[in-house]
Amino acid sequence: MPMFPPLPGIVFSERTPLAQRRPSPPRSDGYQRQKSVPAVTANDRIKEENGGKQNVENPVEGMIFGCNKKTKEECKRLQLFGLPATHRKEVLRVIPGSKLFLFNYDSKHLSGVFEATCHGAMDIFPHAFRSIGSFPAQVKIKRVMKVPSITMDKLKEAIPEIFYNEKKFKFELSRSQVEKLVELLVAAKEIPAK
């Protein structure tokens, strides 16, 4: 016995599977379902503003992105780094070739060396990192040098000027800071493990 009275003009047998039901006929009032239109991304807006070119006036030389033990594997699998939307301006200044590093907030280690393979953009992978929050300011990456990670203490010794306080630091890096980090990471490879 149905809970609701049947709708006029619509008859479905309880034994007819949904996949075998015929689509409803076209509407007589002329209404047509509109096709979906792709969303406009930050890259599209930047290109439109710059005559069809992805032109970044003041590109960053390097940047540190963050992860934790949950998102580190996702970064590797997707070849993607992300930051919260509050860092949109900095990430949109990342260009292909910018040197990138990944700081693990759980282990307090910095790894690298990575390189951007695209311009920084919003929501390259909209559902990435959603298990722990929202990190829509994103850039695709590739690893260019596999070296051992360094501790936060070593990072502070190498480039103390990026630290706001004991635990917080700026993500953006100058050319000289990138060079110091690369040298430090390479030197860590040469030191034999005890």
Are 88 and 139 contacting, i.e. CB atoms less than 8 angstroms apart? no
| 50 belongs to a structural domain | no
| 45 belongs to a structural domain | no
| 88 belongs to a structural domain | yes
Longest dimension (CA), the chain: 81
Query: How many domains does the structure of the chain reveal?
Result: 1
| 76 belongs to a structural domain | yes
The reported pLDDT for the residue numbered 39 is 46
**Hey, which bits of the chain come out as E strands?**
62-67, 80-83, 99-104, 109-116, 121-122, 137-143, 150-151, 172-173
| 136 belongs to a structural domain | yes
User: What pLDDT digit, counting tens, does each position of 20-30 carry?
Assistant: 555 556 666 65
Domain span at residue 124 reads 62-190
| 5 belongs to a structural domain | no
pTM: 0.68
Q: What is the mean pLDDT of the chain?
A: 76
Domain of residue 119, CATH code: 3.10.590.10
| 44 belongs to a structural domain | no
Give Cα 145 to chain centroid, integer Å.
Answer: 21
| 52 belongs to a structural domain | no
User: What pLDDT digit, counting tens, does each position of 32-53 carry?
Assistant: 554 444 444 445 544 554 444 5
Q: What is the phi/psi pair of residue 49, to 5°? A: -70, -25
